[in-house]
Amino acid sequence: MLELEGCEKPVQTLINFIRRSWPIVVVPVVLLGLVVVFQWSAIERNIAENARQALAQDFPWAGVENYRLGRKVLLTGEAPSQSSATAAENQAAAAHGVSAAKFIGSIAPELQMAKLHFQVRGTKVLIEGTVADVAARNAVIAGAIKEFGSDSVFAELATDSQTADIHTNVLRGLLKGSYGQSADFAISFHPEGMVVEGELPSENLTARLERQLHRAGFDGEIIDQSTKPELIENNVCQDQLNNILSESKINFASGRSVIQPSSYELLETLAGIAVRCPSASFEVAGHTDSTGNADANLRLSQLRADRVVDFFGSLGLDANRFQGVGYGAQQPLADNETRDGRAANRRIEFKLRN
């Protein structure tokens, strides 16, 4: 007991010393720790800012977090694709002060190609497919109506928000070039470009499409997988045109140059043939019977020939390929003394000029 009692004094002395001295020892340590924490927080903020600057131009969707991660950063936000997320990780990891980067955000749903199918038969068009929303559907239909008329457009378009945007101004150009002809083609839009498939009515329609896309600011790839009408010799083209006209007639209002609507389909058929000989130029010859004043008949035949040329132009054909010439009653095919003869003499003919 005496030995234990002898040890109590040094122990008590130590305890008293610790009680008196702990602030001197502990406070500096705590302060040093706080300085380190605040300084490291500033370093972390600088590292995060370096990562943000590295991502700002190429990956504006990416957010950066690194709280209590040291030199590592986390990338947030919605990446357009997994490859984009991986590329952002690599670019952030290369920023000054960053040791590693990990993407923890979400991947945007992959957009499906917007595919529209068009069937053009003369002055009528059927449109089928899927577009992104009601606004896109309305724009497609409005463009078709502008070119074909409200009674000639038949649309069966579904909507899906995961569908790529379409270029409605381009579609109008395609429809304008297809009006009055026979075509069965499909256009697929995706974020990087578009694909054209099927049968287009003319060789130059794809070139027109490309020009319109570039004017609209589109710089994606255009993949042309379409087929074009089989070309025919110019003289064959002339024979086919006149063979059709030997069996059917372009009818006009009596004594006038107004084309009867019943003849629109015939003119569309003729235009479809003329498309297949793009290098040919024609004289569109107008003829009348001998009834009435000769000068009036000459003027009427000229006006009727001009109206046919105008109609072809409205169908997208190059009107410079056609020259209207009126002959009045100067070149009869049959006897003007009979009713049938006069009917045969009132006609339009195509004459090859080259």
φ/ψ (deg, to 5) at 32: -60, -40
Rg from Cα positions in the chain: 40
H/E element, 187: strand 181-190
- State how far the Cα of 21 lies from the Cα of 37, in Å rounded to an integer: 25
Note the pLDDT of residue 191: 65
- State how far the Cα of 172 lies from the Cα of 146, in Å rounded to an integer: 8
The long-range contacts involving 194-198, CB below 8 angstroms and separated by at least 24 positions, are 194/167, 194/220, 194/221, 194/222, 194/223, 195/113, 195/223, 195/225, 196/222, 196/223, 196/224, 196/225, 196/226, 197/225, 197/226, 198/117, 198/226, 198/227
- For domain 23-107, the question of CATH label 2.60.120 is answered with no
pLDDT along the chain (354 residues), means of 10: 53 60 57 50 81 91 82 89 91 90 87 78 80 86 83 88 71 62 73 75 62 64 77 89 89 91 86 85 93 93 94 82 94 91 92 86
Topology of the domain comprising 234-352: 60s Ribosomal Protein L30; Chain: A; (3.30.1330)
Of 354, 305, 293, nearest in space to 329 by CA:
293
pLDDT digits (tens, 9 = 90+) for 312-333: 887 767 889 999 999 999 999 8
Structure tokens at 66: 């690194």
What are the residue boundaries of the structural domains of the chain, listed by start?
23-107, 114-227, 234-352
- How many other CB atoms are found less than 10 A from the CB of residue 221? 10
- State how far the Cα of 71 lies from the Cα of 45, in Å rounded to an integer: 10
Note the pLDDT of residue 75: 92
- State how far the Cα of 75 lies from the Cα of 92, in Å rounded to an integer: 9
Residues with Cβ < 8 Å from 116, sequence gap 6 or more?
Answer: 127, 128, 129, 131, 140, 157, 166, 171, 186, 187, 188
- How many other CB atoms are found less than 10 A from the CB of residue 123? 19
Q: Are 192 and 219 in contact (CB under 8 A)?
A: no
pLDDT digits (tens, 9 = 90+) for 32-66: 554 444 555 777 788 888 889 999 999 999 999 88
Write the CATH number of the domain with boundaries 114-227.
3.40.1520.20
Of 203, 147, 145, 196, nearest in space to 167 by CA:
196
Does the pTM exceed 0.75? no
- State how far the Cα of 158 lies from the Cα of 100, in Å rounded to an integer: 45
Note the pLDDT of residue 347: 93
Strands 114-122 and 106-107: unpaired
* 23-107 and 234-352 agree in CATH topology: no
Of 45, 42, 41, 57, nearest in space to 91 by CA:
57
